[in-house]
């Protein structure tokens, strides 16, 4: 049973527009969420994170929104650039799993393609 779900395997967006990547989770014990970007044959690169005490965290073009009641988070990229084309993984953790330095539960990823 997947605890972290990314239901869209792929997303295509025009350059300059907004990219919205969605992630749902089932485990109410999760209290820390992260987004990673991954290129083929490379390890994931940390993008942005959010703690459950917040509902929004912003870093440059990247903003993560957390809706705890819906167990849903989303990553907004605006404006999207061709270099953003990659697979984006949502990950969740909990203090009981060691927090961000413990067991991360990953979604299956969403492949984002930003077209010029």
Partner 1 sequence: GAVVSQHPSWVICKSGTSVKIECRSLDFQATTMFWYRQFPKQSLMLMATSNEGSKATYEQGVEKDKFLINHASLTLSTLTVTSAHPEDSSFYICSAGRLAGGPPNNEQFFGPGTRLTVL
Among 15-23, 64-72, 77-85, 105-113, the segment contacting partner 1 (CB under 8 A): 105-113
Show the tokens assigned to 83. 């270099």
CA-nearest of 40, 62, 50 to 109 is 40
DSSP string covering 12-76, please?
EEETTS-EEEEEEE--TT--EEEEEEE-TTS--EEEEEEETT-SEEEETTEEEEEETTTTEEEEE
CB 21 within 8 A of CB 78: no
Q: Select the residue interacting with partner 1 from 60, 69, 70, 101 (CB under 8 A).
A: 101
Spell out, one character per residue from 33 to 72, where the chain touches partner 1: x when CB under 8 A holds, - when not: -x-x----xxxxxx--x-----------------------
Return the number of the residue (69 or 101) whose C-beta is nearest partner 1: 101
- Collect all residues with Cβ–Cβ distance below 8 Å to 89 and sequence separation of at least 6: 6, 35, 36, 37, 38, 44, 106, 107, 108, 109
Among 22-30, 63-71, 78-86, 95-103, the segment contacting partner 1 (CB under 8 A): 95-103
10 is a contact residue toward partner 1 (CB under 8 A): no
Among 19-27, 60-68, 72-80, 101-109, the segment contacting partner 1 (CB under 8 A): 101-109
104 is a contact residue toward partner 1 (CB under 8 A): yes
Binding site for partner 1 (CB under 8 A): 4, 9, 34, 36, 41-46, 49, 89, 98-104, 106-109
């Amino acid at each position: 049973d997947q605890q972290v779900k990314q239901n869209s395997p792929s997303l295509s967006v025009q350059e300059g527009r907004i990219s919205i990547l969605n992630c749902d989770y089932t485990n109410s014990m999760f209290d820390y969420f992260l987004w990673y970007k991954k290129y083929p044959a490379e390890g994931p690169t940390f993008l942005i994170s959010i703690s459950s005490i917040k509902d929004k965290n912003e870093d440059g073009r990247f903003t993560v929104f957390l809706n705890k009641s819906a167990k849903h988070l989303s990553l907004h990229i605006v404006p999207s650039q061709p270099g953003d084309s990659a697979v984006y993984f949502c990950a969740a953790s909990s203090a009981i799993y060691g927090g961000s330095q413990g067991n991360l539960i990953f979604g299956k990823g969403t492949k984002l393609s930003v077209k010029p």
